[in-house]
Structure 1
Amino acid sequence: MIINPNDLDPQSVYKLLSGAVVPRPIAWVSTVSQDGIANIAPYSFFTIASRNPPTLVISVGVGTAERAGTVKDTLTNIREQKDFVVNIVTASLANEMQYSSENLPSDVDEFAHIGLTAIDSEVVKAPRLLEAPISMELTLHDIIPIGEDHLILGRVVRYHVKDELYENGKINLEKLAPLGRLAGNYSPVETIFSLPNEQLKQYLKSPVDRSK
């Protein structure tokens, strides 16, 4: 099947993208407004942009149907304050992460509304999430408009990692149990293996079709 995205409406293109590019990590982004109101929201258009300097990128889209034509609080706060925090989502925090994706008025402290704990960051103005096993403080590098979306690049200036996760300079991924986004659904990272692996097929429901 060959599909030309120009023949599809934007929602159908989005469904193809979000269903094909999986699993995606989730950036649980915390920010603060100029009035001191804390905000936290999840973004699965998220990855590493640079190793040196350590830089992350998230893509922030337009408001959903009930807030069509509006700018998301995350984007507004980052534009104004020039910083943010990326908190890593685990399976145990999945429900709270989903609640934080709801559309709430800008004057609502989302940490308090959801029952999460906001604590001061070390360098940036944005708060970090106490419950998160990993949080990264970032200063704004650039905001790049692409169509209706905005790529936000931030330089990591501090890492906060739970002691039990940090082993020999690396993150223990089994203990972390990160959550991934699969189109409209989610999945924890449960099976971890290295390659090459002669026993790989035991992890697969069926043999890989290499004829495609």
Structure 2
Amino acid sequence: MARPLIGVSTYWVGSARWGGWDLPSALLPAGYPLLVRRSGGLAALLPPDDPAHAADAVARLDGLVIAGGPDVEPARYGAEPDPRTDPPARERDAWELALIDAALAAGVPLLGICRGMQLLNVALGGTLAQHIDGHRGPRVGVFGRHTVKPVPGTRYAEAVPEATTVPTYHHQAVDALGRGLVIGAEAEDGTPEAVELPGDRFVLGVQWHPEMDEDERVMRALIAAAVRAAA
């Protein structure tokens, strides 16, 4: 079949500069579409839109990636904001939650990355720990690295059966698991590093940033699921 079409969520920024231009932009780090391409897919970028259009967008895709970014608004999971939590990105929250709901309803293979994993958990009724230490990089804009260990018998462990060192940049984490989710990998301190829905549908979230790594196995697992679903 043709390379599967993988939608990747993006976000609005008030200003981005390139050449002589300085304009409002829809932004996504290049690592995401490059990882999709290296893994055998064709990337389609999805800037925030009316949530009512999410199902129409997902219906045209073979797979969906919810990208990393700012903290999920705590009101989405019934919490008051911690002083260390990012200002809300309400338009993006609404759009990406609608994309997740549409993918779950349609059975479209879904991968959440960092914020995307947290949103998946919130979409299914889970909660987040608003601040943890030791998982953000050494300074702003620099990724750290730590080891994640797969949980035997999970979809993640099938794709990546050994402990690996991954690029990480987050200060929030899954707290109470959403409906049906199980933990697919953990950090050495017990922090959930991957969550997934058991069963035939491919629904996986990872807390780190595979787009910043040479290891393509997580994205290749999504691409393989997209190919199977389209067959």
For normalisation by structure 1, the TM-score amounts to 0.24
The structure where helix makes up a greater share of residues is: 2
The structure where strand makes up a greater share of residues is: 1
For normalisation by structure 2, the TM-score amounts to 0.23
Report which of the two structures shows the higher radius of gyration computed on alpha carbons.
Answer: 1
